[in-house]
Amino acid sequence: MFKHKLIHQIFVVLGIVFILISCSSDDTTSDEQVKENNDPEKNRLVTTTVANTEIADALELDLIGVPDSYKSLPERYKGLPSVGDPHGPDPEILRSLDPKEVLSVSTIEYDAKEYFEQAGVNVRYLNLDNIDNMHDEILQLGEDYDREEQAEELVQTFEDKVEQITEEVADKERPTVLILMGVPGSYLIGTENSYIGNLVDIAGGHNVIEGADRDFISSNTEHLQQTNPDVILRAAHGMPEEVVEMFDEEFKENDIWKHFDAVKNNRVYDLEESLFGTTGNIRAEESLEVLVDMLYEDELKRKSDIDVEKVN
């Protein structure tokens, strides 16, 4: 009887020990998995655009390679190898880095695809054409790289800003807007499908170009004059200072622009490239604030004048 009881107690003790060992093993495995997910050498992630690099920084992801750019990249990535221009990354450098994944953007897939194929690397083209798509991409990256919390916080912060702005402009008259996207030597018209067009829509503006199936289209000034927008937004891409000078010369030498109400009323604004690029970026919240001030400047000024009169 005593012997059977002793054997039973031994098995109970062994069972408890086995459970403790299993739990400890699971915890260790979990800790090791987290460490592995956070290991840049394990992820071996490369970004080839500034927007993707800033998203990676916001998600607290380490990288092994970054794009070549005249813009300042996040301090986290200082000293990392440059893989070249976003439209034509260097295949040899990419191959030597042996990345697990390379992040590009869908808008330049046609230009960059051949270089990635030469390098033989795995590339993911993020769709940053508009805010919703950008948020979907951020959330997916968060899931894939164990950064769900950072991704959800990033998206929620912007959604809170959109809700705030929607309430602010709800009772305001929607201004009509013309978007000009300039590159050295020429410019295109931004449609409602473009990233800046998406921001204008969120801010309550009405794009004068409707029904287009592309982000940007070409047009002539005679046709544009018929739209007679309240506001003209001039965005620069590539070489901002050179493009602004081009716009200034165009508006000065082409007499047709003086017939636009936006020009007559001094409602022409140059957009800072770091805030208003051709694709979405994590500074969209700040971009919206700047845009709202531009679109409703007259109304805000009138409100300020009324407040001053009340004080006097």
DSSP secondary structure string for all residues of 12-76: HHHHHHHHHHHHHHHHHHHHHHHHHHT-HHHH-EEE-SHHHHHHHHHTT---SBB---SSPPPGG
Which residue has better confidence, 268 or 237? 268
Distance from C-alpha of 176 to C-alpha of 219, rounded to nearest angstrom: 17
Distance from C-alpha of 302 to C-alpha of 308, rounded to nearest angstrom: 10
Confidence of residue 301 (pLDDT cuts 50, 70, 90): low
Tokens of 305: 């004048």
**Domain 171-307 part of CATH 3.40.50.1980:** yes
Range 299-306 average pLDDT: 46
CA-atom Rg of the chain in angstroms:
27
Give the pLDDT of residue 312: 42
Domain ranges of the chain: 40-126, 171-307
Confidence of residue 39 (pLDDT cuts 50, 70, 90): low
For 70-121, how does the pLDDT look when each residue is reduced to its tens digit (9 = 90+)?
888 999 999 999 999 999 999 999 999 999 999 999 999 999 999 999 999 9
Range 58-76 average pLDDT: 94
Which residue has better confidence, 139 or 70? 139
Tokens of 293: 């001030």
Distance from C-alpha of 184 to C-alpha of 27, rounded to nearest angstrom: 57
Distance from C-alpha of 85 to C-alpha of 93, rounded to nearest angstrom: 12
Beta bridge partners of 189: 180, 217
Q: Do domains 40-126 and 171-307 have the same CATH topology?
A: yes
Give the pLDDT of residue 210: 86
Confidence of residue 228 (pLDDT cuts 50, 70, 90): very high
Question: Of 141, 140, 160, whose CA–CA distance to 57 is shortest?
Answer: 141
Whether 233 has a pLDDT exceeding 80, the answer reads yes
Tokens of 175: 């201004």
Question: Of 199, 272, 284, 194, whose CA–CA distance to 240 is shortest?
Answer: 272
Give the pLDDT of residue 25: 39
Distances (CA, A) of 282 to 37, 51, 126, 158: 23, 7, 13, 9
Range 213-232 average pLDDT: 88
Question: Of 172, 299, 186, 170, whose CA–CA distance to 250 is shortest?
Answer: 186
Question: Of 121, 150, 123, 124, whose CA–CA distance to 138 is shortest?
Answer: 150
**Domain 40-126 part of CATH 3.30.70.20:** no
Tokens of 286: 């700040």
- Is 43:65 a contact under the CB 8 Å cutoff? no
Indicate the pTM of the whole model.
0.80
Range 15-35 average pLDDT: 41
Alpha helices per DSSP H over 145-275: 148-169, 195-202, 221-227, 240-253, 261-264
Mean of all residue pLDDT scores within the chain: 84
Give the pLDDT of residue 299: 61
What pairing do the DSSP bridges indicate for beta strands 206-207 and 216-217?
Answer: unpaired
Distance from C-alpha of 117 to C-alpha of 114, rounded to nearest angstrom: 5
For 140-163, how does the pLDDT look when each residue is reduced to its tens digit (9 = 90+)?
999 999 999 999 999 999 999 999
Residue in the block written with tokens 């031994």: 10
DSSP classification of residue 215: S
